[in-house]
Amino acid sequence: MTTTPSSAPSDEVSRALAQAGVTCIERGWLSANNVLVQGNGPSALVDSGYSSHADQTVALVADALGGRPLDLLLNTHLHSDHCGGNAALQTSYPHLRTLIPPGQAASVAEWDPVALSFEPTGQFCPQFTHEDLLHPGTSVRLGPLEWEVHAAKGHDPHSIVLFQPRHRILLSADALWQNGFGVVFPELEGISAFDEVADTLTLIEKLDPAIVIPGHGPLFQDVSAALSKSRSRLEQFVQNPGKHSRHALKVLLKFKLLELQSVSIDSLHDWTLRTDYFVRAIPTEALADPTKSLAWLEDLLSELERNQALSRIGDTIADR
């Protein structure tokens, strides 16, 4: 887990963040970054990381608050690596108000882990509640300033981003990273969403942020370069959707390895056969033949091993 930026921000960036009351707690890839906003107004945390890091999240936030209460918890979207610490924070701060995008409010209220994507991805999120919604087109006071709420479909159909216009700070979640964007999950379900990714990139270009704090990785300022890389990557996926699907499955495997650290090949094989996004992708003839489905998985794992994303010792697969 990383809690400091990969490179120190410039004095200009530091001043802008300080004036907006923003502290970025940069995390490892299992947990999304946590963005804490403090000042003359409600203290707020944007995104809470993955459930296995929940105790770390609570400790990091408490340390940054210095004994002050946390008033608001906001989720840019409800993937497990962005909301897995919600329940722990709600326990630690009983008066905390949690705000989520409106699209999945009913699924949270009824607690439907399938509709919330936790079961289809083979991930976990403790049950939490919410008190209010982040409607696109509105604004919300975080610390000393108002932040605009913008719809950011593509990676997730219900995702939002937050923009502070005075200092031009964008909390981009998984809509834009320095070197790309998050998996386009609707595409894995046969729902066209690449155009929505393009629309969100256009929105970010129009907002013209000076500072971007992404959902994963360090903050950055060269937004034009990031947009160019993302558009190039998107075009590759549009031209070859199978490339995106394979990329998505490798991401889900890597996430599981980050969570477990090591696992036997048999256990990992069993997990894929119970996980909806893998069941959708495994060739039909392989689903009924364990030898063929294992060979299919081995092909993905071999590519991750070649990219030095995992290591193998006998039948044990380990993260690296």
CATH 1.10.10-classified regions of the chain: 241-319
Residues 44-54 as b or e (16 or more Cβ within 10 Å = b): bbbbbbbbbbb
Q: Which residues pair with 157 in a beta bridge?
A: none
What is the pTM for the complete model shown?
0.95
Q: Residue 1, exposed/middle/buried by CB under 10 A (0-12, 13-18, 19+)?
A: middle
Distance CA 276, CA 14 (A): 43
Residue 248: its H or E element: helix 241-260
Query: What pLDDT was estimated at residue 1?
Result: 35
Query: What pLDDT was estimated at residue 4?
Result: 41
Name which of 164, 167, 135 is nearest 150 in CA terms.
135
Name which of 103, 125, 218 is nearest 172 in CA terms.
218
- Beta carbons of 31 and 50 less than 8 angstroms apart: yes
Distance CA 242, CA 292 (A): 19
The tens digit of pLDDT for each residue in 40-88 reads 999 999 999 999 999 999 999 999 999 999 999 999 999 999 999 999 9
CATH class of 241-319: mainly alpha
Residues 6+ apart with CB under 8 A from 94: none
CATH 3.60.15.10-classified regions of the chain: 11-239
Per-residue pLDDT of the chain (320 residues), as tens digits, is 334 444 567 889 999 999 999 999 999 889 999 999 999 999 999 999 999 999 999 999 999 999 999 999 999 999 999 999 999 999 999 999 999 999 999 999 999 999 999 999 999 999 999 999 999 999 999 999 999 999 999 999 999 999 999 999 999 999 999 999 999 999 999 999 999 999 999 999 999 999 999 999 999 999 999 999 999 999 999 999 999 999 999 999 999 999 999 999 999 999 999 999 999 999 999 999 999 999 999 999 999 999 999 999 999 999 99
Q: How far is CA 176 from CA 125, 183, 229, 293, 318, in A?
A: 24, 11, 10, 34, 29
Residues 6+ apart with CB under 8 A from 6: 26, 217, 218
Q: How far is CA 140 from CA 63, 164, 209, in A?
A: 24, 10, 18
Q: What is the fold, at CATH topology level, of the domain defined by 11-239? A: Metallo-beta-lactamase; Chain A (3.60.15)
